[in-house]
Amino acid sequence: MSLLEIKNLYVEVDNHEILKGIDLRVNAGEMHSIMGPNGSGKSTLAQVLARRESYNVTRGEVSYDGKDLLAMKPEEAACEGIFMAFQYPVEIPGISNAYFLRSALNAIRRHRGLDEVDAMDFLPMFREKLKLLDMDEKLMNRSVNEDFSGGEKKRNEILQMAVLEPKLAILDETDSGLDIDALRIVAKGVNSMRSPERAIVVVTHYQRLLNYIVPDFVHVLVNGRIVRSGGPELALELEEKGYGSMEAGARQPAPA
């Protein structure tokens, strides 16, 4: 049984059909990359999997870890081990990064019947992950994402993933807006998370991230459909020929 199994998924937002029949299987231990032009529906797919409720599933099924994912609320999916790194991380003024992350960790631990982690025990593990991502300790006490640079926000998402240790991580455009050094650090963080129990889905529209993170499978999403799937070499082909080659009738990319 696959960790994630998407069958014939159709999704609408505000009465626009955005995903038009997605099929995808992801097994534990695998790294998948979903590539596609702006506006093709990548974020929509990621958010539906994270159970954002403003997206309306009109057809299809998604099973996750043997359960009906579409019946879960966002916090249930999160507690069951789904993590999404946001393309646009959200600011929470007045709440420190450390407090927020510990609250999230404890919510997930409670769900799993584990003891809560107190501030004293949390600190060392938080420090270790900060180091992995080459992040300043000061970020612990700053409000969540407030006045963070674009790159800091993206790194902060990966930091959260590292602390929360999900079973299925979906990274939405975590590479966009990063300079080359930050990109390397983020890639290091993501690679350190690879494990036989965990699946990672990396959503991107650039090939350059895939120089540092080598996926097992690449899927090309154009206009709400997966038009091709293959190995890492598919990313290189895309780089060479562009998305236009993938489907003759593909829509022109809309501004994201």
Partner 1 sequence: MNSNLNTIRDLADREYKWGFVTDIEEERVPKGLNEETIRLISAKKKEPEFMLQWRLKAYHHWASLEKAEAEPKWANIKYGPINYQEITYYSAPKRKPSLQNLEELDPEILRTYEKLGIPLEEQKLFAGVAVDAVFDSVSVATTFKDKLAELGVVFCSFSEAVQKHPELVQKYLGSVVPYTDNFFASLNAAVFTDGSFVYVPKGVRCPLELSTYFRINAAETGQFERTLIVADEGSYVSYLEGCTAPIRDQNQLHAAVVELVALDNAQIKYSTVQNWYPGDKEGKGGIYNFVTKRGKCLGVNSKISWTQVETGSAITWKYPSCILQGDNSVGEFYSVALTNNYQQADTGTKMIHIGKNTRSTVVSKGLSAGHGQNTYRGLVKILKGATGARNYTQCDSLLIGDRCGAHTFPYIEVRNSTARMEHEASTSKIGEDQLFYLRQRGLKPEDAVSMIVNGFCKRVFRELPMEFAVEAQKLLSVSLEGSVG
- As a residue count, the chain comes to 256
223 touches ligand ADP (CB under 6 A): no
**83/46 Cα distance (integer angstroms):** 10
Query: Phi and psi for 248 in degrees, rounded to 5?
Result: -55, -45
Residue 174 CB, nearest distance to ligand ADP (Å)? Answer: 13
Residue 160 vs 204, nearer CB to partner 1: 160
Rounded to a whole number of angstroms, the minimum distance from the CB of residue 79 to partner 1 is: 5
- Per CB under 6 A, does 88 bind ligand ADP? no
Please tell me whether residue 126 adopts helix, strand or coil conformation.
helix
CB of 84 to ligand ADP, least distance (A): 12
42, 102, 153, 154: residue in contact with ligand ADP (rule CB under 6 A) = 42
Please name the residues in contact with 221: beta carbons below 8 A apart, sequence gap of 6 or more. 22, 34, 35, 36, 40, 41, 42, 45, 227
Q: Among residue numbers 44 through 83, which ones bind ligand ADP (CB under 6 A)?
A: 44
Residue 133 backbone class (left: φ over 0; alpha: ψ -120 to 50; beta: rest) = alpha
Size of the site for ligand ADP (CB under 6 A): 14
Q: Which is nearer to Mg ion, 87 or 160 (CB)?
A: 87
Question: Closest approach of Cβ 103 to partner 1, in Å?
Answer: 6
Q: Which does 39 bind (CB under 5 to 8 A by kind): Mg ion, partner 1, ligand ADP, none?
A: ligand ADP
Q: Within 13 Å, how many C-alpha atoms sit on residue 172's CB side?
A: 18
CB 196 within 8 A of CB 28: yes
- Asked whether 186 and 19 are in contact (CB, 8 A), the reply is no
Least distance in Å: CB of 170 to ligand ADP?
A: 12
Helix (H, G, I), strand (E, B) or coil at 45: helix
Residues binding ligand ADP (CB under 6 A): 13-14, 16, 18, 36, 38-44, 254, 256
